[in-house]
Amino acid sequence: MRHLVLAILLIVAGAAPLAAGESSPSSTAPSQPSLHEWQVWDVKTGQPVATEPWLTDLASAHIIYLGEEHRNRWHIEAALKVLRSLAGKNLRPAVAMEMFGWDGQDAINRYLLNFPSPRDQFLQDSRWEDNWGGPFEEYEPLVNFAREHRLTLLALNPPRALVRLVARQGLGQAKQDERMAQWGMRDEALSDDAAYRSIVLDQIRRCHAELTDDAYRRMYDASLFRDEGMAKIIAEHVRHSLGTVGAGPVLAYTGGGHIQYRLPVPNRVARRLGSDSAARQITIYLVAYEPTRPEAIRELLKEAIADYVWLTPLSAHGPPRRCK
């Protein structure tokens, strides 16, 4: 069943978002600004914004979500740009990363404190290969920034063993496992939002054709489980840090699929914090700009994929995978 979990990581984090349809060339107003790399587009106004004032505004948020295309180093650079801006304002943001599992948090804490811990030992102790498995060098700049600035680094993902369990058994049965209680997930309320279900199930079916309905259900359950687990970590940190002098926002760095339309993680965080919470959340969707596909960017803006869309250069690995 390992392939099911790997499929979930690809689908929910990296699949292209749903769109109602592609805009025709004639639907673009002649006066609309042209697209180019490193633009930040405000989805509400449909216009690009000046970068420096925008970065200043981000400093007033409590949670900043950056949704990446996996394996694009320019998206790491975008995250570092935000972190440098926050640090330059004497704020101490917490970096929260999808790429680490909860069972690696103790090792992360030791590494950040510069305890004698060789890099290879850190990767082993943090269970990097098991929980993520991609080249650590691609995400190492974010870890190094947190280490050099003595920032908190939060592991967002539930342990891979739990995700595999849900993918194999479904949520109902998996929640009875004693490991769910060990990690505080047995009695957690897992919100099965109708809009979220519609989008995620459609993406799973488009990216993995001809599976059984039961397989789709279990993949969906695992997706929901991961998103709820990430929201749990973010909400707990924000709840404890609100009002702390000098505390910066949480910068949550995940695949773009975890923030699309605010449904996967941001809305779950809002639910956990409560309607009376003053926490301000901002979602930023990172997209590699392909000059031959401007309509795809216009569609993201039209569909309000996030609060902002940030255009970057293409990854050295080429365009991201798109499901039909």
pLDDT of residue 11: 46
- Identify the three-state secondary structure at position 145: helix
Give the residue, 209 or 265, on which the prediction is more confident: 265
For residue 56, give the H/E element and its range. Answer: helix 51-58
C-alpha dist (Å) from residue 12 to 101, 128, 210, 293, 302: 16, 19, 18, 22, 21
pLDDT of residue 123: 97
How many angstroms from the chain centroid is the CA of residue 108? 19
> Predicted confidence band at 272 (pLDDT cuts at 50, 70, 90)?
very high
Q: Token pair of 249, please?
A: 């926002």
Nearest to 155 by CA among 102, 116, 209, 201: 102
Torsion over CA: 10, 230, 308, 251 (sign): negative
Query: What is the pairing mode between strands 92-101 and 308-312?
Result: unpaired
Segment 227-244 mean pLDDT: 93
pLDDT of residue 13: 53
pLDDT of residue 14: 55
Segment 53-68 mean pLDDT: 98
C-alpha dist (Å) from residue 61 to 104, 105, 147, 251: 27, 25, 22, 10
Q: pLDDT tens digit string along 89-122?
A: 999 999 999 999 999 999 999 999 987 678 999 9
pTM of this structure: 0.91
Residue 256 has what DSSP assignment? G
Give the Cα separation of 202 and 196 in Å (integer): 10
Nearest to 86 by CA among 259, 250, 308, 270: 250
Give the Cα separation of 168 and 45 in Å (integer): 44
**Looking at the predicted structure, is the pLDDT value of residue 25 above 60?**
no
CATH 3.40.50.11550 fits 37-157+226-312, yes or no: yes
Residue bearing tokens 């009376």: 276
Q: pLDDT tens digit string along 300-315?
A: 999 999 999 999 999 9
